[in-house]
Amino acid sequence: MIPFNPADLIAIQPELVLLGATCAILLIDLFIKPSQRDITHWLSIATLALTSYLVWRGAPELSSGVTAFNGMLLHDGISVVLKQFILLTSGLSLFYARNYMRERSLLVGELYLLVLFATLGMMLLVSAGSLITVYLGLELLALSSYALVAMNRDSASSAEAAIKYFVLGALASGLLLYGMSMIYGATGSLDLATITGKFGQVEHPGWLAFGLVFLVCGIAFKVGAAPFHMWLPDVYHGAPTAVTVFIGSAPKIAAFGLAYRLLEGGLGPLSGQWTLMLAILAVASLAVGNVLAIAQSNLKRMLAYSTISHVGFMLLGFVGGTPAGYSAAMFYIISYTMTATVAFGMIALLARKGFECEEIDDFKGLNQRSPWYAAIMGIAMFSLAGVPPLFGFFAKLLVLKAAIDAGFLWLAIVAIVFAIIGIYYYLRVVKVMYFDAAAEETALPLPSDVALRWVISINGLALIVLGLAWGPLFDWCNRAFGV
């Protein structure tokens, strides 16, 4: 029996604090009135801020990486970067959710608790050093997400989206479990580092290849890569917009961590096989996402197909199987999530009870009503399109460079072609805001929440600041991978 090491608790201190605070908020929420729900809101924000501080405080001394609980958990530079942005985007999602959910009588304690538990699952996932930890973190995130999508029990579309999400999510989890069982059967270990070290001693290498196929399929389901994307547009559309802000941002960072820990951390010696598989998934995602987004009139569905195309771009960083490529992919997914929070947050901000503001035509004439919000939404659209000098442009540039350096020039050319196609549907939103007249004078009410207006404004302006000064963040990503 392996003895307990009290020092392991230091490495997992942020997760323990987050878990303890979440349980405390659960108890506090039981004794407050619905009119006092702001207490739960600010306690949740404070919990995320405290957890972020603890992650940051542990980063300098743990920059070289340490393991805890016999290698089941890793605390290294990669997990620190990913956790910080998971906590940031989760906090932004809660800010954008408060008014939206309150107007629909959905601002309940469960919203905050599910987001906090999902955040805990994501933190475990990006720190996973074992197949067991991967699955525990993934399922904690998934089960919380299913419940969040079904928050609006009076909406048939929300119920339908939740059922689709649950069924296809369970299928993806089954694929991952089956792949993990093949890997365990071949190597006799659940530890990712041990699995990597035993590749030369495997008696039946075919089991590893068989397990790899199922793992890649499961990962593709979780990240929303084509052709395993069928759940994503329906879930984004059917979920309450405030929930879409969350599931469209932070879990994408966790999905990057899932792909990296399993493929590079556990199956690195098979990179010759899985890089080609990821290249095919990248092409399919770029094609399906950009082409089908053009046909959408609903902004949430358009952004959902856009997400599929951005997953394709993220995979460009993986195809080389190099630290520089992983660093570029991490930078890209951070750029995407920061931009997606603005785009989905603007939909939630401009919606009101009885008017969801999720059709592209609902944004007609926004510039005449509020030039500031039109500018923020325009910044988000141009950043997603990769227009310089915004954040998204340099993210695209870096993953394209990583693919070219890895010898995948053809893949970079394909990505550029589809990126140009993708500019069209982003420009359509800008055209509607600036050049079309509003169909109804009261179609776009302006929000009264001062904190919300400040948060979304800072979030939007950050896309410009990070576009002009992206170097420090990219250096941070490089240091995480030892580049």
User: Per-residue pLDDT tens for 331-351?
Assistant: 999 999 999 999 999 998 888
The Cα–Cα gap between 143 and 125 comes to 14
Q: Residue 25, Cβ neighbours under 10 Å: how many?
A: 20
Confidence at residue 447, expressed as pLDDT on a 0 to 100 scale:
61
Confidence at residue 62, expressed as pLDDT on a 0 to 100 scale:
47
Q: Residue 454, Cβ neighbours under 10 Å: how many?
A: 11
Q: Residue 276, Cβ neighbours under 10 Å: how many?
A: 12
Confidence at residue 271, expressed as pLDDT on a 0 to 100 scale:
83
Confidence at residue 445, expressed as pLDDT on a 0 to 100 scale:
56
Longest Cα–Cα distance of the chain, Å, equals 72
Q: Residue 295, Cβ neighbours under 10 Å: how many?
A: 10
The Cα–Cα gap between 394 and 414 comes to 18
Confidence at residue 293, expressed as pLDDT on a 0 to 100 scale:
93
Does 50 map to a domain?
yes
Helix extents (H) in 317-408: 323-350, 366-369, 371-385, 391-405
Does 328 map to a domain?
yes
Phi, psi at 128, each rounded to 5°:
-65, 135
The closest of 335, 363, 347, 307 to 463, measured between CA atoms, is 335
Domain total in the chain: 1
Hey, is 437 helix, strand or coil?
coil
Does 90 map to a domain?
yes
Instruction: Tell me which H or E stretch contains 119.
Output: helix 109-126
Does 400 map to a domain?
yes
What are the structure tokens assigned to 72, written together? 């089941």
Detail the DSSP E strand segments found in 64-134.
Answer: 66-68, 73-75
**b/e 332-358 (16+ beta carbons within 10 angstroms → b):** bbbbbbbbbbbbbbbbbbbbbeeebbb
pLDDT in tens, 290-307: 999 999 999 999 999 999
pLDDT in tens, 219-262: 999 889 988 988 899 999 999 999 999 999 999 999 999 999 99
The Cα–Cα gap between 469 and 483 comes to 19
Structural domain of residue 436, as residue ranges? 11-480
Does 345 map to a domain?
yes
Hey, is 364 helix, strand or coil?
coil
The Cα–Cα gap between 239 and 250 comes to 16
The Cα–Cα gap between 386 and 402 comes to 16
Does 1 map to a domain?
no
Q: Is 202 exposed, middle or buried (0-12, 13-18, 19+ CB in 10 A)?
A: middle
Q: Are 375 and 459 in contact (CB under 8 A)?
A: no
Q: Residue 461, Cβ neighbours under 10 Å: how many?
A: 14
Residues of the chain with confidence (pLDDT) below 70: 1-4, 59-64, 439-448
Does 5 map to a domain?
no
The closest of 432, 417, 436, 164 to 297, measured between CA atoms, is 432
The Cα–Cα gap between 179 and 214 comes to 5
pLDDT in tens, 10-50: 888 899 999 999 999 999 998 988 888 889 999 999 999 99
Does 4 map to a domain?
no
pTM of the model: 0.94
The Cα–Cα gap between 34 and 18 comes to 24
The Cα–Cα gap between 124 and 318 comes to 22
